[in-house]
Amino acid sequence: MVLEKINSHRIILASRSPRRKQLLEDLGIRFEIVCHDWNEDYPEGLKGSEIALHLATLKAETFREQVKDGEIIITADTIVWCNNKVLGKPSDEQEAIGIISEISGNTHDVITGVCLLSARRSRSFYSTTKVTFERLTPSEIEYYVRNYRPYDKAGAYGIQEWIGLAGCSHIEGSYFNVMGLPVEKVYHELQLLAVDEID
Please list the active-site residues. Answer: 77
- How far, in Å, CA of 161 to CA of 78, rounded? 17
Q: Is residue 129 classed as helix, strand or coil in its secondary structure?
A: strand
> CB within 8 A of 96, min separation 6: which ones?
90, 145, 150, 151, 156
Reference 124, options 80, 168, 87, 74; nearest CA is 74
Please name the residue ranges forming H helices in 90-182.
93-103, 138-148, 162-167, 175-179
What spatial distance separates the first Cα and last Cα of the chain, rounded to whole Å?
A: 18
Q: How many CB atoms lie within 10 A of CB 152?
A: 13
The amino acid at 127:
S
> CB within 8 A of 56, min separation 6: which ones?
75, 76, 77, 112, 113, 114, 115, 124, 126
CB neighbour burial string for 68-80, b if at least 16 within 10 angstroms, e if fewer: eeebbbbbbbbbb
